[in-house]
Structure 1
Amino acid sequence: MSILFSNPWGFLALLGIPAVLAIHFLQQESRTVRISTLFMLEALAPESVEGRRFQQLRNSVPLWLQLLSVLLLTWLLVQPRFLTAGSTQRITIVLDSAVAMRAFQPVIAEKLAPRLREISGAAQKTEWLLLETDPTRPALYTGTQLVPMLAAIDKWLPALGKHDPALALRNAISTGDRKGMVIFVTDEQMELPVGVDLFAVGRPISNGGFTGLRITEPDSASPGWQVLVKNFSKEPMKRECTITSANAQPRTLVVELGPGEARPIKGSFPADSPGVELRLNPDEFTFDDTFSIVRPRLKPMALTIQSGTPATTFFQRFAASFLSSRLVAGSEGPDLYLGTAPAADFTPPPPPPAAPAAGGAPAAPKPAPPAAPSRGAGIFMIVGDRTNTNILRDQLLVERSALTQDLRFNGLLPRFTSPIALRPEDQALLWAGNTPLIFRRLEAGKPQLYLNFDVLESQGDQAAALVVLLSRFAETVRAAKIAEQAINADTGQRLFVAAQPGGAGLVVTSSAEGVAPQEFPSTGERTPIRAPLEPGLFTVKQGNTVLVRGAASFSDARELDFTAASTFDGLEGKTAELLKQNTYEDTNQQLWLCLLTALLLANWAWLGRKRTL
């Protein structure tokens, strides 16, 4: 049976034992009592004639009564509790995944360990669940051993920017039980949901670092870059910044910043260089002292525009605004085809009654709109009869989609000639009553966007929402293309890369020191990967094919300010609460109290009897 003590300070009562022994070592000075005869004098123990001094300890009844009283009093004061047989508690620890926690991560396990050892003794079995607030990561540890759990904290690497931990804490509460607790470990004091205890390990740090990037003149032949450096401390700061690239000599700048001051560092991309890296001489928090940049480069897009139609000019204006694109002949296999809808897509309208011609023969039907064969991914438009003045007056309804998010098609006056029928698998994006005006279709696995009305006669060329919709669709085609691109990303950012499905996995390699390559299985045109957690240049390859050349940097200024960091121990006194849940008190307390009273009375009575002559 396991015994725990709710009040360990009660053991100080044991100091009464040496006190009682000391008293019984002392002897009293003898007193003279005049009596008339000797036979009335009881046998008395010898007493010192010289006064109080230590002599040999004498065995006596008061000695044992007093020692037993001290032991009983100590037992009552320490408030013993007995663990319930089979008692189990679940302790869930949630670590703040904000990157600012890297400044204090080495001391988290050291500071938590004493409290957790104390808490683990509140039940016969303790189940540990170690989580973090990053929802994309699995549990860091699940088990019943404290030492491996503390080791998992030492290996943990936070990587998120500023975020709200409320969702992770609610999930932790829902996975726990009433015989346990949820502990949130962070670097500053904050309000937490009911049922969560705070353990803060932070302290103010004088920090300064890179906070943001802007590419200047991105559409020019020689774009530049501008990186912001900020001093988050309350004292002036002087730092050295070294700028390096593959094909240029390193150069060093001295940056002097006042308290809270920010200043830009500017530069350009050297020719034929994969990127630029900026490094500040290290301070106490080094994560924001490195910033890497690559010259952004989109996947090139080959466009083919159908010629000889009224829509040609409209599509030429659209292609001119589409970045990193070039016009090619249809025979070269374009990435995106722009033209009128193929004739095979039209739903033939019911034939109108034939009007007699001048010679008595029926009039010939009007020819179908100009037709072009389907050329894979494309945007197709209906070009109607210029004499058609019918306008659909039905209310326009926008379907919820990533292509139509926040778009308003006010001012669009759709006119129809020969509408295309909607297939069951098509995705309608814009309706006019029961008629689909814009819809998305997959043809042999290639996305196609249909403008199912006469755009030129419907003020569509003046509708900004329509141009945005076309740009968004064209970007989805670009995203699905397997080709090399260059991007600047946040550390740990989730990215989607187009790759050969079912082929080799995607390997992410970083230039940061000590970062091992990451491999992700290929799932096709939207293969999810993550940028490296450490700042630096990186590449993404599938086999020998380079898919991404990138730079990972951290620039969330909210996580770089440590002036509000503090220490707080919200676990003090929590062990006693857990003990009440998993233990029961001594059921004989009343008996021990009565026995203590009896011992004290017996001691008093015995000493009184000894003083009687």
Structure 2
Amino acid sequence: MNLILTNFHGFWALLGIPAVILIHFLQRRAKVETVSTLFLLKQTQRESTSGRRFDRLVNSVPLWLQILAVLLATWLLLQPRYVKAKSTQRIAIVLDSSASMRVFKDKLPETIQREIPRLQGNAANIEVWLMESDPSKAKIYQGNSTEDLLTALADWSPSAGATEPTNTLRVARSLVGSEGAVSYITDSPLANHAPYNSSTIAIGEPTDNCGFTGVTFESDGPNVIWKAIVRNYSSTEQTCTWKLETATGASSSREITLKAESLTTLQGAFPKDHTRCRLVLSADAFDLDDTLPMVVPSPKPLFVTSTLPKETVFLSDRMLASFPNLKPAPEFAAADLIVTSTETTPTTQHLMVFPQDKASSRPYLTGNIVATKHPLTEGLNWQTLLVRESYSIPHAADDEVLLWQGNRALIYLRTHPNSRKKALIFNFDISRSNGMKQPALAVLMLRYCELLQREKVAPETRLTETGEPLQITHHTGADAAPLVQNIITLAGESLEAREIPTSRNDLSAPEQPGFFILSQGDQALLTSATYFADTREADFSDCATEESPASSMASAVDHHTRDDHLWRIWVCMILAAVFGAWWFTKSGRKESLPETAR
């Protein structure tokens, strides 16, 4: 049975032993007795004639009894406790999920092996939870084996952005209870102490790193030009090499030198006859930003046609010329959006309605202009809009009015109850107003087109950041095919495919740089290249080593140990030792005197 000494102040009681010995070094002054003969002097105890001073140590029973009393008193003051055989300490270790932790992952096994015995304290057994600071991640390990924990840790690959650990620490504290231990392991010291009585261990150190931060594309005739930014996060000048890889080969490596904490731009033509390529930097401690996968972006097009009369057909022409990703429909049936002046019911296609009033000049409307709180009108100023009176298209109760002037609905949004197609209706003659000079009206029209684009189920190609939430429009319903996310290689070969139920709304890009295709049935909805672009996690200048222990709790000691049930015996032995020392001292004095002198 393990023994725990919980009161270190008891060690001061051991100073009583030197004190007892010092006292026994001192001798009493001899008493002068007048006797008639000297033969009795042979039986007297040799005593000092000069009084109390250091002399030889006399071995005696009182000496050893007094030392025994001091030792027993010390034992009681130490308050010994015995570890309960079935006691279990619950331990929750929370690992920082941020991508920067992958640089210091090799330090984790040693740190955890050193931390668990400290957190175990006086308990005989342990139950351990190993968790990530990202609350959306599943726990890494739960059990009572340190070896199994380290095995599970070997498969852990942190790749998230900066994560606030408070929520996970709260969950960890609820798992272990008030008497359990919670430890947070990160790479940078926290500005404030970790909440929920958690200890904190920072295992990082400043590390040099160069990496890609982003890429843009430009068209140059038949060519697509990429421009990639490389950043040096270090405080010293760094030299690295880069190359462009395709499915059929790679370019020769080129060397670049970056000054301390500087940026540089690389550019080149996207390889023809290839749909995928990637830029690769020479390897360093942080690998996530050393590769930059690329595909040529191709947004979902919105096909537009117009039935406007010649007087107002310029409205649709300006939209096609100014708004991105709008294309003229090859035929009327293929149009996603119809710009019209007569239809108001969006049955099979979306509408943008600009009614016309054939009447001559009418007076301007009066009354306050009030915009409804809506994503399409957020932040827009309509106070300079001048609208003339004209015939009004009545709005239904289900229509969303976006703009009022007095009691008149100037602009409203109508959604068909079955097809869910939309109609943006301008309830005034725009050609007899100053609407074409209003930036707010142009922004509203652009936002409406972008909304229709997002809601369109169609293929698109774009770049995504690692772990980025994905908003993908897809078919829903009982008969809809499941979504399939297929991670592919540079050559297009499948690495991993998984089905995603259509009911899920938490889609996200992979956490590692690379390529993937998100499809439904036979249709590829999203073709993407994923790259790491979190500059906060790529900067290791603030990393350091530090330990901040949690406050200890006496309740945990009481829970895992029991007090000394023999303390009454020790008290009795102390009293017996003190009485015995007094008894032997008294009797010794009497025996040392001659019988005639007693």
When normalised by structure 2's length, the TM-score is 0.77
User: Deviations along 1:239-277, whole A, 9 cap, x unmatched?
Assistant: 121211236642311122232232221112122312221
- The one-letter amino acid of 2:423's match is L
CA gap of 1:424–1:205, structure 2 versus 1, over 3 A, is same
Q: 1:392 aligns with which of 365, 379, 386?
A: 365
What does residue 246 of structure 2 align with? 245
Moved more, 562-571 or 146-155: 146-155
How do 1:573-588 residues align onto structure 2 when only pairs under 5 Å count?
574=552, 578-579=556-557
What does residue 383 of structure 2 align with? 410
Deviation at 1:155, TM superposition (A): 3.5
**Residue pair 2:243, 2:250 contacting (<8 A) in 1 also:** no
User: Deviations along 1:163-204, whole A, 9 cap, x unmatched?
Assistant: 544565567678885444554332111224653535233332
User: Deviations along 1:357-407, whole A, 9 cap, x unmatched?
Assistant: xxxxxxxxxxxxxxxx85512222222345353433333333333333333
Which residues of structure 2 form unaligned runs of 5+?
19-37, 46-55, 593-598
What does residue 215 of structure 1 align with? 216
**Residue pair 1:169, 1:196 contacting (<8 A) in 2 also:** no
What does residue 539 of structure 1 align with? 517
How do 1:261-272 residues align onto structure 2 when only pairs under 5 Å count?
261-272=262-273
Separation of aligned partners in 2, 1:125 and 1:450: 68
Separation of aligned partners in 2, 1:427 and 1:388: 29
What does residue 314 of structure 2 align with? 313
1:428 aligns with 2:401: yes
What does residue 432 of structure 2 align with? 457
Separation of aligned partners in 2, 1:260 and 1:240: 17
- The one-letter amino acid of 1:453's match is N
Separation of aligned partners in 2, 1:90 and 1:432: 65
1:549 aligns with 2:527: yes
**Residue pair 2:160, 2:511 contacting (<8 A) in 1 also:** no
User: Deviations along 1:524-544, whole A, 9 cap, x unmatched?
Assistant: 8x9642211111222223344
Q: 1:376 aligns with which of 349, 356, 368?
A: 349
**Residue pair 2:76, 2:567 contacting (<8 A) in 1 also:** no
Percent of aligned pairs with the same amino acid: 25
What does residue 565 of structure 1 align with? 543
1:189 aligns with 2:162: no
What does residue 495 of structure 1 align with? 470
Separation of aligned partners in 2, 1:511 and 1:608: 98
Separation of aligned partners in 2, 1:134 and 1:394: 52
Deviation at 1:162, TM superposition (A): 3.3
1:439 aligns with 2:440: no
CA gap of 1:339–1:9, structure 2 versus 1, over 3 A, is farther
CA gap of 1:89–1:429, structure 2 versus 1, over 3 A, is farther
What does residue 199 of structure 1 align with? 200
What does residue 472 of structure 1 align with? 447
> SS at the partner of 1:422?
coil
CA gap of 1:413–1:506, structure 2 versus 1, over 3 A, is farther
Deviation at 1:554, TM superposition (A): 0.9
- The one-letter amino acid of 1:480's match is E
What does residue 119 of structure 1 align with? 119
- The one-letter amino acid of 1:446's match is R
Deviation at 1:291, TM superposition (A): 1.4
> SS at the partner of 2:507?
strand
CA gap of 1:378–1:180, structure 2 versus 1, over 3 A, is farther
Separation of aligned partners in 2, 1:138 and 1:391: 63
Separation of aligned partners in 1, 2:130 and 2:90: 11
What does residue 349 of structure 1 align with? none
> SS at the partner of 1:563?
coil
- The one-letter amino acid of 1:521's match is I
Separation of aligned partners in 1, 2:120 and 2:295: 50
CA gap of 1:165–1:572, structure 2 versus 1, over 3 A, is closer
Deviation at 1:296, TM superposition (A): 1.0
**Residue pair 1:376, 1:447 contacting (<8 A) in 2 also:** yes
- The one-letter amino acid of 2:420's match is K
CA gap of 1:572–1:521, structure 2 versus 1, over 3 A, is closer
CA gap of 1:534–1:583, structure 2 versus 1, over 3 A, is same
- The one-letter amino acid of 1:376's match is Q
Which residues of structure 1 form unaligned runs of 5+?
20-34, 43-51, 53-57, 346-372
> SS at the partner of 1:436?
strand
Moved more, 120-129 or 249-258: 120-129
**Residue pair 2:72, 2:570 contacting (<8 A) in 1 also:** no
Deviation at 1:581, TM superposition (A): 7.7
- The one-letter amino acid of 2:296's match is R
When normalised by structure 1's length, the TM-score is 0.76
What does residue 365 of structure 1 align with? none
- The one-letter amino acid of 2:118's match is E
